[in-house]
Amino acid sequence: MPWTPSRRAAYTIVRADGFGSRTLERVFARSDGAAAFVRDRSRWAEAGLTDAQRASLARSIDGGADADIAIMERDGIRFLLPEDGEFPPKLRAIPAPPMALFVRGTAIGDGLAIAIVGTRKMTPYGERTAAFFAAELTGVGATIVSGLALGLDGIAHRACLDAGGATIAVVPGGVDDRSIVPQCHLATAKRILAAGGAICSEHAPCADARPYDYLHRNRIIAGVADAVIVVEGDRDSGALVTAKHALDQGKDVLAVPGPIWSNASRGTNELIKQGATICTSVDDVLSALRLGNPDRAKEAVRTRELLPASPEESELLALLAAPAHLDDLVRQSGKTVGEVSGTVSILEMKGRVIAVGPRTYVRA
């Protein structure tokens, strides 16, 4: 997309240090637009920016954006805002969505995607299990999502690639080569891109990952997936944070049971106690997603690819992250009953929504 003055101003704000998604949402919601906001520094305090944020934005304006844009053009990195057509539709519907996304590789669509996450301190059991589920789910047409971290994340990505599939890595820093963490997974990142997958982040190129970025990005891992499988993790594992985000987003959470004496399985066993679906086979995943069997899952994926969502369908899908009555959809969308019911019927035929009660639907 061309670097218009407004888009360049938005990027200048996004690359400023200390601007989280809530601050960006507040700034971007202003009616005067990003370009006017950047020009008129007197507006920064009224927008609620702290002294540190104002100083950071001033530094961002004074220099560095040109070098970043050159890196993005060199590496094929796209800067996406929520109103852009390529912005992942699933992310628009989550609580606290990213206000900007940097994507390298293939566009992230709304096809069937499963997140596989787990501890860095994996056991041989966890390694084998993550590789098994990644390969088997790839076989039914699912895209595997994970965080490119050490341990089970890397195993899931590589097993998907070895099975000939596409995988999405959500990283805590920039998506450029220098910023990929850990650097020992740069070769895996290159394989992901070569195989038609994607690497994404809400952070600008050359942004170093800070400790809290690892946990904050977990909401995006859950957000681009239809379900999350937690393979291994202790009670304080970041994988359990991903599971919590998935529950907040209305996604299915599955947990692999493990030995009762293994610290690596204490978190997953606890999730099962709390109501997570026990995950011991791919059928468990397909059943949770109401896809029934591998043949039906493959057919659903093929249908989604052949029949992409129209703008009207995408709008309703965003409203159906949680079950909603037809009357609620009419009120929220501002469309007529006939328009909404017709679009819902098409989405049902495409396998994108299912009825869960009288005139009540949810995204499949």
Sign of CA dihedral 25, 26, 29, 31: negative
Does 328 or 291 have the greater pLDDT score?
Answer: 328
- Residue 195: inside a domain: yes
In 3-state terms, what secondary structure has residue 75? helix
Measured CA to CA, the distance from residue 165 to residue 138 in angstroms comes to 6
Quote the tokens at residue 86: 């390529």
Domain check: are 166 and 24 in the same one? no
Domain check: are 313 and 276 in the same one? no
Print the domain residue range for 338: 309-363
Domain check: are 115 and 176 in the same one? yes
CA angle 326, 328, 332 (to 5 degrees): 120
Q: How much is the pLDDT for 165?
A: 94
Q: How much is the pLDDT for 33?
A: 86
Q: How much is the pLDDT for 267?
A: 96
Q: Domain end: 241, 259, 288, which one? A: 288
Q: How much is the pLDDT for 294?
A: 58
- Residue 234: inside a domain: yes
Q: How much is the pLDDT for 358?
A: 75
Q: Domain end: 13, 37, 63, which one? A: 63
Domain check: are 170 and 278 in the same one? yes
Q: Give how far Cα 2 sits from Cα of 12, 235, 263, 275, Å.
A: 15, 46, 51, 47
Q: Assign residue 169 the CATH number of its domain.
A: 3.40.50.450
Pairing outcome for strands 198-201 and 101-105: antiparallel
Q: How much is the pLDDT for 301?
A: 56
pLDDT tens digits for 99-130?
A: 999 999 999 988 899 999 999 999 999 999 99
- Residue 144: inside a domain: yes
- Residue 182: inside a domain: yes
Q: What is the pTM of this model?
A: 0.80
pLDDT at 337 over 90: no
Compute the chain's Rg from CA coordinates: 21
Domain check: are 166 and 39 in the same one? no
Q: Assign residue 332 the CATH number of its domain.
A: 1.10.10.10
Q: How much is the pLDDT for 220?
A: 97
- Residue 124: inside a domain: yes
Domain check: are 109 and 213 in the same one? yes
- The amino acid that residue 90 corresponds to is K
Count of domains forming the chain: 3
Q: How much is the pLDDT for 327?
A: 87
- Residue 72: inside a domain: no
Domain check: are 281 and 165 in the same one? yes
In 3-state terms, what secondary structure has residue 229? strand
Q: Decide if 103 contacts 242 (C-beta within 8 A).
A: no
Domain check: are 282 and 134 in the same one? yes
pLDDT at 168 over 60: yes
Q: How much is the pLDDT for 354?
A: 80
Domain check: are 52 and 193 in the same one? no
- Residue 91: inside a domain: no
Domain check: are 284 and 313 in the same one? no
Domain check: are 145 and 279 in the same one? yes
Q: How much is the pLDDT for 126?
A: 94
**Can you tell me which residue has the tokens 């995943």?**
285
Domain check: are 139 and 243 in the same one? yes
How many alpha carbons lie under 13 Å from residue 239 in its C-beta half-sphere?
38
pLDDT tens digits for 265-312?
A: 999 999 999 999 999 999 899 889 887 655 655 565 555 555 556 778
Q: What is the mean pLDDT of residues 143-163?
A: 96
Q: Give how far Cα 312 sits from Cα of 47, 48, 99, 182, 344, Å.
A: 33, 35, 22, 40, 10
- Residue 296: inside a domain: no
